[in-house]
């Protein structure tokens, strides 16, 4: 078995802190905001590719740049990296979405992955002209994906559903290969739709016992539907050479959070319709206290961030241990991030991945020559040892 690792592209910008440039930074402290330029996102993408990540997730929403356009502009900046494009079914027609995905997949030579995001924030959906309830959004996603799947098979589609209607729909070229669908959701309405359409079911980083319960739920639904999706998990990471250094970094990030910002974000997230978001909020209760909710699993990110709100924190060995624990549950794809996204990719790629490789849990997708020592520039070569000495 070889686990699969993906990184993350922050199309809303990046910094050395979870939120903006940090709160009350003392003079002389490195900070600042890094705009989500094509040049900077390209740096992250190329680094992820070099380190052995298979793909990179790009988010969707009113708080970030468009995922389709941002990733399409990065294809030529990379050679192998795949792009896990998050998109919201129903905000465009299924025929157009199928055509866009086919164009991306064929033009990039198979480097598109798709993350289906139904949307858990009603106010944000309304900003896009979508006034359906959450359960209706899942029903619409089901119809949407039925149409898209048929179009990708080269069919001409007539469909008249409660939410989607097309006549004589067809796309000029089918995608080769068909892009895998990644799908999350913790509500009763989400499960059957996720099982019906996902190739990889994604969960956020809860403690292993809670993740195991969710996977058992999906397995049972899958068995009834005759489908067996694979499983992935979305986590942040803070990994260092020592546990002490990693937790010091977590504390630095926590110290950079303004209490007023925490209160404001928590008030907004409390109105979320997302069952997964409610589960994230329950892990920390809006408090800075007791944030290590399981060994090496830290809920501090969720104080000021919606969605995935937990991070693996620890030494490279400890983080590898937790990844192995999740893998034992059946997780085989890990979608990771860390701030800043450029530097943290190297901490993980150079610190944790070699440990997982040594344990037989990961095989690099790169074709690399054995590492060679570069030596020390301008250093004198060692003196020869006299014969007979």
> How far is residue 361 from each of residues 1, 325, 326, 328, 337, measured CA to CA in Å?
6, 11, 12, 11, 20
Q: What is the pLDDT of residue 386?
A: 61
| pLDDT tens for each residue of 304-358 | 999 999 999 999 999 999 999 999 999 999 999 999 999 999 999 999 999 999 9
Q: What is the pLDDT of residue 23?
A: 37
Phi, psi of 245 (to 5 degrees): -65, -35
Q: What is the pLDDT of residue 383?
A: 63
Q: What is the pLDDT of residue 30?
A: 54
Question: Looking at residue 314, what DSSP letter applies?
Answer: E
Percent of the chain with pLDDT over 70: 91
Asked if residue 85 has pLDDT above 70, the reply is yes
CATH of domain 4-23+32-236+313-358: 3.20.20.30
Asked if residue 26 has pLDDT above 60, the reply is no
Q: What is the pLDDT of residue 122?
A: 84
| pLDDT tens for each residue of 352-385 | 999 999 999 999 998 654 455 556 566 556 666 5
Asked if residue 298 has pLDDT above 80, the reply is yes
Q: What pairing do the DSSP bridges indicate for beta strands 112-116 and 82-87?
A: parallel
| pLDDT tens for each residue of 173-219 | 999 999 999 999 999 999 999 999 999 999 999 999 999 999 999 99
Q: How far apart are CA 358 and CA 367, in angstroms?
A: 17
N-terminal to C-terminal alpha carbon distance within the chain: 51
| pLDDT tens for each residue of 230-258 | 999 999 999 999 999 999 999 999 999 99
Predicted TM-score of the model (pTM): 0.93
For the chain, the domains span 4-23+32-236+313-358
């Amino acid at each position: 078995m070889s686990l699969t690792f993906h990184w993350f592209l922050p199309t809303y910008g990046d910094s050395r802190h979870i939120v903006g440039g940090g709160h009350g930074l003392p003079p002389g402290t490195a900070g600042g905001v890094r705009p989500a330029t094509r040049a900077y996102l390209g740096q992250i993408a190329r680094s992820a590719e070099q380190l052995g990540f298979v793909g990179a997730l790009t988010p969707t929403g009113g708080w970030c740049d468009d995922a389709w356009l941002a990733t399409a502009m990065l294809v030529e900046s990379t050679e192998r990296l795949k792009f896990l494009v998050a998109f919201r079914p129903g905000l465009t027609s299924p025929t157009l979405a199928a055509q866009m995905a086919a164009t991306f997949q064929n033009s990039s030579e198979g480097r598109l992955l798709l993350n289906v995001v139904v949307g858990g924030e009603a106010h944000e959906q309304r900003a896009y002209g979508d006034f359906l309830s959450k359960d209706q959004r899942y029903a619409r996603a089901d119809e949407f994906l039925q149409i898209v799947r048929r179009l990708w098979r080269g069919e001409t589609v007539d469909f008249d559903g409660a939410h989607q209607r097309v006549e004589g729909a067809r796309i000029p070229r089918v995608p080769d290969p068909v892009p895998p669908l990644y799908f999350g959701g913790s509500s009763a309405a989400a499960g059957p739709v996720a099982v019906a359409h996902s190739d990889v079911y994604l969960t956020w980083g809860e403690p292993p016992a809670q993740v195991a319960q969710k996977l058992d739920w999906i397995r049972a639904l899958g068995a009834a539907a005759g489908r067996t999706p694979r499983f992935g998990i979305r986590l942040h990471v803070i990994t260092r050479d020592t546990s002490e250094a990693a937790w010091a970094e977590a504390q630095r990030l926590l110290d950079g959070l303004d209490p007023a910002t925490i209160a404001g974000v928590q008030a907004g997230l409390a109105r979320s319709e997302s069952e997964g978001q409610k589960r994230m909020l329950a892990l920390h209760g809006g408090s800075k206290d007791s944030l290590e909710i399981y060994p090496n699993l830290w809920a501090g990110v969720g104080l000021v961030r919606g969605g995935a709100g937990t991070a693996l924190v620890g030494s490279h060995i400890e983080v590898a241990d937790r990844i192995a624990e999740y893998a034992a549950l059946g997780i085989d794809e890990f979608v990771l991030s860390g701030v800043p996204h450029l530097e943290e990719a190297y901490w993980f790629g150079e610190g944790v991945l070699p440990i997982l490789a040594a344990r037989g849990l990961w095989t690099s997708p790169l074709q690399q020559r054995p590492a060679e020592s570069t030596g020390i520039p301008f250093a004198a070569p060692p003196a020869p040892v006299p014969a007979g000495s």
